[in-house]
Amino acid sequence: MTPFLRLIKMTYYSCIRTLLILTIVISVNSRLFSQNELHNEINIKRFAEYLYCKGDYQRAFYEFERMQSFENNDTVHFLSALSLFRLGEYKLSSKYLSSISSTNLHVVQDLNELNLFLNTGEINLEPGKKSDYQLKLEGIKFALSGNLSNSYATAFNPDDFTYYFQQSNNINTGGKSPVLSGILSAIIPGMGQIYSGSTGDGLGGLFNIVTFGSLSYWSFTENKNFTGYLLAAFTAWFYLGNIYGAVQSANNYNYEKLTLSQNSIMDYFKKRDFYLEVNIPVCK
């Protein structure tokens, strides 16, 4: 055998030996640490992101928390804050955001603003130019109070603005006046309820008052004074109650209308994921 061939043979066997040793080492390690494999930095992150995408935000948050022992960086803090935000824990989410060093990132600022808005209904209006996101939140805030003006048109895309504007207008138009409703019921019992959309209640009230009033009148004509007074007292009680009911009926109508419009605005806002531009690649 030539020295060259011997060298090749030796190299070949030494390679095989090294590979075998490596294999055994891998095998032992994998047996010893195999379960930990699923709990290492990369796999915890993968699992946390999977949970987040699945909508299991509470477990996702705990996994992101665990990740902090491996990598305590802004991304992990942000993902924790985002999970808390999805859980409706706005205050706690803000606390996590405050530990992020790169506060100039617009998505961090936006989430912070949104947490404040959803927690308190307020917008952080520091002096200086408002960000696009602040303008959007301010627009939504005014829409919810029924005061969205055209000056916010540029903050949204046209379709969204049209929707918010219509819903906001609904809040302030077409309401029923409680005073007018009360007066109407004082003139013709039940009329206030009919004006406020509670026709059944109005007709029921009218029937009661007419029935008791007539029975009272009939009792007096028959000299049954005690029954007459008793029925008159019932009639007066129903009459006053009817006026109060008419005022409440108008208030209820307005409240229901307000709640309905505000809920539509919030639902529309939620459907657009609060205009947050958060991209978690695995969720796609």
- Interface residues with another protein (CB under 8 A)? 16, 19-20, 23, 26-27, 30-31, 34-35, 37-38, 43, 46-47, 50-51, 56, 59, 62, 215-216, 218-219, 222, 224, 227-228, 230-231
Residue 264 CB, shortest distance to another protein, in Å, is 29
Nearer to another protein, 8 or 38 (CB): 38
Nearer to another protein, 220 or 239 (CB): 220
Residue 67 CB, shortest distance to another protein, in Å, is 14
Nearer to another protein, 207 or 255 (CB): 207
Q: Measured between alpha carbons, how far is 98 from 112 in angstroms, rounded to an integer?
A: 9
Nearer to another protein, 12 or 255 (CB): 12
Burial of 137 (0-12, 13-18, 19+ CB in 10 A): buried
Angle, CA 161 vertex, CA 172 and CA 264 arms, to 5°: 55
Query: Sign of the CA dihedral 238, 239, 241, 247?
Result: positive
Residue 12 CB, shortest distance to another protein, in Å, is 10
Residue 92 CB, shortest distance to another protein, in Å, is 19
CA atoms within 13 A on the CB side of 182: 9
Cβ-contact 16, 24 below 8 angstroms: no
Angle, CA 238 vertex, CA 237 and CA 241 arms, to 5°: 85
Nearer to another protein, 62 or 268 (CB): 62
Burial of 239 (0-12, 13-18, 19+ CB in 10 A): middle
Residue 56 CB, shortest distance to another protein, in Å, is 8
